């Protein structure tokens, strides 16, 4: 585990408030290599993009072994650290989250996102009870520590995405999750500069923001003290939009304009050759 532990420490050190780690999320081996080749210091997976590539809808509906097999292919394809979004842990209880983390480590990743959203249609609310979620984060922390790998546990709080609450509720949950062993706090849906500034000031640890069209540029988020900027499934969605445009153009008009800026076949092959 020594090399993996070194990668985990290197990944942890990349989280610097004001000089954020910028993560263009990948979903398979070739997108991960392209992200690495673009100069990314690490590769993050998008859970949505990854499960879509497996033919499964997002929302904790994928087989854990299938998802982590895909993560292993990504980790094998790149030389930089890999962190993976494991939704709410691919498990019904805290013990299962620990099992998932052990499988994540076996796949070669050195970080995880664990969300507090509930995907069960019969759930009483959009978010898991804070004490139960803290227990799941603690199980992730314990599993990684037992393996001797300083896994970066990023606690995703879906207060803003779900509409369940604002800054106060987010900070309350963040404090509980940090106490349980989370290294960082991820608050997707919060991009308003005033809100981000409040979160940076109130979170005891590095803050991860999910950006995209309409969000402040990375430089502005850096000035607010953000330590990590990712884009979730945004790049995967843009890639799939291109597939749809190209397919419709070909089928409806019989033309090929959407393919004009395609990567060269040899260039893609060469990227993957360097992983062997």
Q: How far apart are CA 264 and CA 262, in angstroms?
A: 6
Tell me how many domains the chain contains.
1
In a domain, 239, yes or no: no
Under 8 Å between Cβ of 132 and 97: no
In a domain, 131, yes or no: yes
45 Cβ contact list (under 8 Å, min separation 6): 25, 26, 27, 32, 70, 71, 74, 82, 83, 84, 85
Under 8 Å between Cβ of 272 and 30: yes
> How does residue 168 score in pLDDT terms, banded at 50, 70 and 90?
very high
In a domain, 266, yes or no: no
258 Cβ contact list (under 8 Å, min separation 6): 242, 245, 246, 249, 250
In a domain, 273, yes or no: no
In a domain, 46, yes or no: yes
Side by side, the strands of the sheet bearing 184-186 are: 21-23, 228-230, 207-210, 184-186, 152-156, 111-115, 82-85, 43-44
CATH of residue 44: 3.20.20.60
pLDDT in tens, 107-144: 999 999 999 999 886 677 899 999 999 999 999 999 99
pTM reported for the whole predicted model: 0.96
pLDDT in tens, 46-63: 999 999 999 999 999 999
In a domain, 83, yes or no: yes
In a domain, 225, yes or no: yes
> What is the residue range of 14's domain?
2-233
In a domain, 256, yes or no: no
């Amino acid at each position: 585990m020594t090399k993996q532990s070194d990668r985990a420490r290197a990944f942890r050190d990349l989280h610097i408030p004001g000089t954020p780690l910028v993560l263009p999320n990948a979903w398979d081996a070739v997108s991960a290599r392209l992200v690495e080749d673009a100069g990314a210091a690490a590769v993050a997976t998008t859970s949505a993009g990854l499960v879509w590539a497996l033919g499964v809808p997002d929302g904790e509906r994928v087989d854990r072994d299938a998802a982590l097999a895909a993560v292993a292919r990504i980790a094998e394809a790149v030389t930089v650290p890999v962190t993976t979004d494991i939704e709410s842990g691919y498990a019904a209880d805290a013990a299962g989250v620990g099992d998932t983390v052990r499988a994540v480590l076996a796949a070669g990743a050195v970080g995880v996102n664990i969300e507090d959203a509930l995907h069960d249609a019969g759930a009483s609310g959009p978010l898991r009870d804070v004490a139960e979620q803290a227990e799941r984060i603690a199980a992730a922390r314990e599993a990684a520590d037992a393996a001797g790998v300083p896994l970066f546990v990023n606690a995703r709080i879906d207060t803003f995405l779900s509409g369940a609450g604002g800054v106060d509720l987010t900070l309350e949950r963040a404090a509980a999750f940090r106490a349980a062993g989370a290294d960082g706090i991820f608050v997707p849906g919060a991009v308003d500069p005033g809100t981000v500034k409040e979160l940076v000031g109130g979170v005891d640890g590095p803050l991860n923001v999910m950006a995209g069209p309409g969000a402040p540029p990375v430089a502005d988020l850096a000035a607010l003290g953000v330590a990590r900027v990712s884009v979730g499934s945004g790049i995967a969605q843009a890639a799939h939009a291109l597939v749809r445009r190209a397919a419709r153009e070909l089928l409806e008009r019989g033309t090929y304009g959407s393919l004009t800026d395609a990567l060269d076949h040899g260039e893609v092959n060469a990227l993957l050759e360097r992983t062997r």
